[in-house]
């Protein structure tokens, strides 16, 4: 995924399925470097990780 698409997903009122290494995640914050984001697992709000935006994959729009 690129930074522009990640911004669109974060700003959208729609919910998109995004994965990191095959695991469903939620994007919490995009970092100013334009390369990384803070994410958490959809099932757990507790553990957050900083990941490379290029490794995020948009799966589909959740209806």
Structural domain spans, the chain:
1-59
Is 1 in a helix, a strand, or coil?
coil
What does CATH list as the number for 1-59?
Answer: 2.30.30
Angle at 21 between CA 34 and CA 62, to 5 degrees: 80
DSSP string, 19-61: EETTEEEEEEEE-TTSSEEEEEETT-SS-EEEEEGGGEEEEEE
**Is pTM beyond 0.85 here?**
yes
β-partners of residue 20 are 23, 56
* DSSP H/E element including 8: helix 3-11
Q: Please give the chain's pLDDT, 63 residues, in tens.
A: 999 999 999 999 999 999 999 999 999 999 999 999 999 998 877 889 999 999 999 998 886
- Residue 43: per-residue pLDDT: 81
């Amino acid at each position: 995924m690129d930074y522009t698409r990640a911004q669109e997903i974060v700003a959208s009122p729609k919910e998109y399925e995004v994965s990191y290494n095959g695991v469903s995640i939620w994007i919490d914050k995009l970092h100013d470097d334009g390369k990384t984001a803070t994410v958490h697992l959809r099932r757990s709000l507790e553990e957050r990780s900083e990941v490379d935006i290029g490794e995020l994959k948009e799966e589909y729009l959740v209806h």
